[in-house]
Chain A
Amino acid sequence: MAKRNRLEVIRDILKIIQDSHNLIKLTPLLRKSNLSSNRFYQYLEELIQKRLVVKTEGHIKLTENGKKYLERYSSIVNFIEEFGL
């Protein structure tokens, strides 16, 4: 299996949360994300900082930005690739 790039990892994490009715605990999210613990927490911190997810009482939820990210994922990837960003 090819190594996922950053945007794909973010999409996968957000997709896992969405598929879990937009509410998931940290442990199952870590397990399903297929990342090492260190990398998972780095990504989680980044997602919270970018306001793609919020952490509430041990649960992770998608924000409106997180939902938009999933909806517009292909546009984002196309745009970044097109202009070499």
Chain B
Amino acid sequence: MSPRFQGMMPQLGIGTELIYAFVIILCCLIIYFATKELYNITKHQGIRYFRLSFLFFAIALFFRSFIKFVLILFNSRTLFDIAPRAFAGVTTFIFMYFSLIAIFYLLYSLIWKKDKKNLGIYLMHLLALVITIITILLGNILIYIILNVLILILILYLIYQKKSKKKSGLYFIYLLLLVFWIFNILDIFIPNFLQSLQLIIYFVSIGIFFVILYRVLTKIGSK
């Protein structure tokens, strides 16, 4: 394993990690299930990609927390030190893949109308797969982080281009969501990165998901 991957340093206790994961996974699943009826009525592809992105955020966060949980339990720096290589590789792969695909789906929910042939989503799956495999094989997390930042910039640019009256609110929420999602990725892979700020990152991340959940529920409930 490359030294660049040796950064899975546990900092907070199991309790904090479990509460953090539980709250965000719950928020994501509520968003996913609360929008089910709207999707069933309309079969609107934008709603479909939006709700699936939160399902994938939930899956990614579950595996992120699983990795953290195992590291804290065994007081280890990397999953590859304590688990069989294949197991550690698969767990890391699932986290990275679903993390990327969640952001891709969020991106696609904004641009699906421009993709007449509906090929974009398959390309995004392929891209996520290739990037994840390359990152794991090379043991170079930098590629993965840079790509996440590029997607973030692209999403912000697309929202900025939209002519919606409400784009300023959406712009701010997605900006925070993606910035803190990248912090969550950094927190797993880079040693001691943002260690002193970890609890603040957790609180802000929970806050962002609460804001999105609140906006989803109020819009769904409005007549």
Contacts and interface: CB of A to CB of B under 8 A. Distances in A.
A74 interface: yes
Interface of A: 49-50, 52, 65, 68-69, 72, 74-76, 78-85
* Chain B contact surface mostly: helix
A82 B40 contact: no
B44 A75 contact: no
Interface stretch (B6-14, B69-77, B213-221): B213-221
Contacts of B170: 82-84
Nearest to A46: B43
Nearest to A71: B223
8 contacts: A49-B43, A72-B41, A74-B223, A75-B221, A76-B42, A81-B164, A83-B170, A84-B170
Contacts of A81: 164-166
Contact of A82 (B41, B44, B159, B219): B219
Contacts of A80: 44, 46-47
A49 B162 CA distance: 29
A40 to B, nearest CB: 19
A49 B50 CA distance: 21
B50 A50 contact: no
Contacts of A79: 35, 38, 47, 216, 219-220
Contact of A83 (B37, B109, B165, B222): B109
Nearest to A66: B41
A65 to B, nearest CB: 5
Contacts of B166: 81-82, 84
